[in-house]
Structure 1
Amino acid sequence: MPAQTVENQVNTRFGPSRRFCVAPMMDWTTTHYRYLARQLSRHALLYTEMVTTGALIHGDTSRFLRHDAAEYPLALQLGGSNPQELAHCAALAEQYGFDEVNLNVGCPSDRVQNNMIGACLMACPDKVAEGVRAMINATGLPVTVKHRIGIDGRESWEELCEFIEKVSEAGCRTFIVHARIAVLEGLSPKENRDIPPLKYDWVYRLKACYPHLEIIINGGIKTFDECRQHLEHTDGVMLGREAYHNPWLLAGVDTEFFGQPGPARSRHDALRAVLPFIQDELDRGVYLSHMSRHLMGLFHGQPGGRQFRRYISENAHKPGSGIEVIEQAMARVPEPDVSLVVPA
């Protein structure tokens, strides 16, 4: 596809709905989790794990970008800062059928900092803008940015606005804002998800100051009630750990946020819909334990849920384990006679 100008890109490509999104999470939002998630919600926007530009350019590109068509709408998240590499990988995202390409400016780990990836780029708005401009000119896909509200040493409101303004001038119209700063020295990635205080009001204020931009809020959101409150001030919500550890939450998304019935009547039905995909992956040589770990939260809080998890934990890793392990684990959970109850 020919490169589009920034003006055409901004005015014509809005991409999928971001009213409700599931955050990119390393080792968690794999194709196997995403396939399960799609049996629960047709409309939630799903994101891949972060993939670095180096991995795509110098590694097994097809393996990193492989996904099932059932996962759409689906966004690819990139980690990188070199404009030429980002442009190349943005073009790959379009080639492989993704609906959006997102730039990670939020990951606080030391490993990615050393490669000028993630939250450290909050200190370099001109560099982010250059990368975004290159991506936009390389693809017809919407190009979005996921970032923090600041980093240690650069955490003022004025500096956040400088970042937003420079990156939006490069053509980005969608900002996914984790409402915490990232502390790059002194806190681990895990601590950075909890210790810096949430400042939701800053994200609300961004939307008020830049009404022409799409602002999606992220960070610490767990319930639909919280989502509704945030949607009074922003264009969309992004959930991370809650959507992974309690995936049945997604079964209410289509009804609550899109006014349409969801695909799953029950947890059992959703899991049965995943079994053919698991079998296909087993036939490709994927170990059952690599897939079953993403199913562990499906019966969270349900009678028999603990037995379901225990059976998988004790058996999925055994040589030759197949879908019978999942079926036998599922049989330990009483199946309800009622149809879908929308999660609260």
Structure 2
Amino acid sequence: MFVFRPRFGSNRAGEGDDTAQVAQYMPAMSLVLHKAARLSVAPMMDWTDRHCRYLHRLLSKHTLLYTEMVTAPALVRGQARHLLRFDPAEQPVALQLGGSDPIELAEAAAMGAEEGYPEINLNCGCPSDRVQSGSFGAVLMEDAALVALCCRAMIAAQPAEVTVKCRIGVDDQDPSEVLPEFLSQIVAAGVNRVTIHARKAWLQGLSPKENRDIPPLDYDLVFEMKQLFPNLHISINGGVASLDQARELLDAGMDGVMIGRAAYHNPTDILQRADDVIYGGGAGPDPVDVVLAMRPYIEAHLADDSRGGGKLAHVTKHMLGLFAGRPGARQWRRLLSEQAHKPGAGWSVVEDALAAMEQAAA
């Protein structure tokens, strides 16, 4: 029997009445998630790791963040629970799982909930060959019944909210037929929130990179799904390149918008303004202040060799776009790119990069 003990990242909560912990933690987080899901940063392999998410949280208090996809087999069979590690400051943060076995996904979801993730998201959208070979990702669009079975198992196994990220269809499927049936099945399984990448995935003949651009976007179909499923919280994903575009999609009737590469490569323009433009609060901190606020985190990471960490570049590679489009940004990127990977590189490299940027901008 699964016993829920929210760990809020790497720190296990104190022992006590687990039922009371669930009652106090999950309903409150559900309300936070509902608000946060108006804007989210897409899960992106090799990009949205815990260092990236910590940085993004400094820029925006409210935006919903997602982990990279973690496969259920890695957690259940590979004993790779360390992949679930996150800092409590990242909340609200959701765990994305990959898999197609209901039993494994249920166990992996339970692990995620125990670690403190208030949302567990099932990946039904990734088109890569490696993911397909494991029957993960977009290939699951071909078997809505299996996805529904997986969702039921995940929901039954633990108290966190279970969501799905999907495509509008794959290969020769007709999205106008496939997507409504897919959504019907997962809604019947208990899913109340979904993110739809408004682009078909071609699993044969196109690379994952090509799948980001070549199949045409169909925002109209996603809006039609909102009409068909008015009680389903739908976030739209794909091709969103600015916060203003996200605002327009929300104003047009979407419940949420998920932004991927634009939020990563230009985090200040997207996330620093998000709390004001999307959530009605004040704007986030200046990027220079964000860099300075990263110092304790970076120094703690440099001192932590317990998990093979301790390299400055692990963190600073996510900071390269902080000053995109601003005077001196090129010097900032160049110095960090050249120096942060070197043995012994520490906080002084970041200070030097800031000074070089400010000098170039003067």
Task: Report which structure shows greater RCO (CA 8 Å, sep ≥6).
Answer: 1
User: Secondary structure at 2:104's aligned position in 1?
Assistant: helix
How big is each residue's C-alpha offset from its partner over 1:32-70, in whole Å with a ceiling of 9 and x where there is no partner? 111110110000000000000011123353320011011
Q: Distance in 2 between matches of 1:159 and 1:14?
A: 31
2:225 maps to 1:203: no
* Residue correspondence of structure 1 range 258-297 to structure 2 within 5 A: 258-264=279-285, 266-285=286-305, 286-297=310-321
Q: Distance in 1 between matches of 2:314 and 2:45?
A: 14
Structure 2, unaligned stretches of length 5 or more? 5-18, 20-25
Q: How many residues in Structure 1 have an aligned counterpart in Structure 2?
A: 329
- The TM-score with structure 1 as length reference comes to 0.92
2:151 maps to 1:132: yes
Q: Report the CA distance shift for 1:156/1:38 in structure 2 as closer, same or farther (over 3 A).
A: closer
Alignment match of 1:82 (pick from 89, 101, 121)? 101
1:15, 1:142 within 8 Å by CA — same for their partners in 2? no
For 1:315, the equivalent position in structure 2 comes to 339
For 1:180, the equivalent position in structure 2 comes to 199
How big is each residue's C-alpha offset from its partner over 1:122-153, in whole Å with a ceiling of 9 and x where there is no partner? 00000000000000001111100000000012
Which amino acid is the alignment partner of residue 354 of structure 2?
Answer: M
- The TM-score with structure 2 as length reference comes to 0.88
RMSD, matched Cα? 1.8
* Residue correspondence of structure 1 range 1-344 to structure 2 within 5 A: 16=33, 17=35, 18-231=37-250, 232-248=252-268, 249-264=270-285, 266-285=286-305, 286-334=310-358
* Most deviating of 174-183 and 218-227: 218-227
Which amino acid is the alignment partner of residue 272 of structure 1?
Answer: L
Q: Distance in 1 between matches of 2:239 and 2:112?
A: 29
Q: Distance in 2 between matches of 1:123 and 1:55?
A: 24
1:14, 1:142 within 8 Å by CA — same for their partners in 2? no
Q: CA deviation at 1:292?
A: 1.3
Q: Distance in 1 between matches of 2:176 and 2:335?
A: 50
Structure 1, unaligned stretches of length 5 or more? 336-344
* Most deviating of 203-212 and 152-161: 152-161
* Most deviating of 91-100 and 225-234: 225-234
Q: Distance in 2 between matches of 1:89 and 1:242?
A: 30
Q: CA deviation at 1:334?
A: 2.5
Which amino acid is the alignment partner of residue 305 of structure 1?
Answer: A
Which amino acid is the alignment partner of residue 139 of structure 2?
Answer: C
User: Secondary structure at 1:145's aligned position in 2?
Assistant: strand
Q: Percent identity?
A: 49
How big is each residue's C-alpha offset from its partner over 1:223-253, in whole Å with a ceiling of 9 and x where there is no partner? 1221122112210000000000001020010
Which amino acid is the alignment partner of residue 278 of structure 2?
Answer: F
Which amino acid is the alignment partner of residue 355 of structure 2?
Answer: A
1:146, 1:176 within 8 Å by CA — same for their partners in 2? yes
User: Secondary structure at 2:342's aligned position in 1?
Assistant: coil
Q: Distance in 2 between matches of 1:254 and 1:275?
A: 23
Q: CA deviation at 1:195?
A: 0.5
